[in-house]
Amino acid sequence: MLVLYRESDLDKAYKIDCKARAKGNEPWLKREQFRRVYESLLDMHFTRALDKNYQNKADELSEHIIDLVNSTLEKSLDFTPED
């Protein structure tokens, strides 16, 4: 699935991830390494939303997914993108 996102959303998510990693005393990813994680998270959440026949407008779905991704990043550092 092709997922488009704003660089500002990536930057915000990257800051959240760095903050969570600092709290957990985990090494930071480089921003371009994190991009792969971010895109995988977006893809996963969009796929789940589509599977549930999400009925909201596309822009509302996008904002909802971005919030879900940011929440996921704040709570867990164990996500590994699939190849």
Q: In Å, how far from its chain's centre is CA 31?
A: 13
How high is the pLDDT of residue 35?
Answer: 95
Q: What is the CA radius of gyration of the chain?
A: 13
Domain limits of the chain?
7-75
Give pairs for 42-51: CB < 8 Å, separation 24+: 42/3, 42/5, 42/66, 42/69, 43/1, 43/3, 45/69, 45/72, 46/1, 46/3, 47/1
CA separation (Å) from 63 to 16, 21, 70, 75, 83?
Answer: 16, 24, 11, 19, 26
pLDDT at 19 over 70: yes
- The residue among 52 and 58 whose pLDDT is bigger is 52
pLDDT band per the 50, 70, 90 thresholds, residue 61? confident
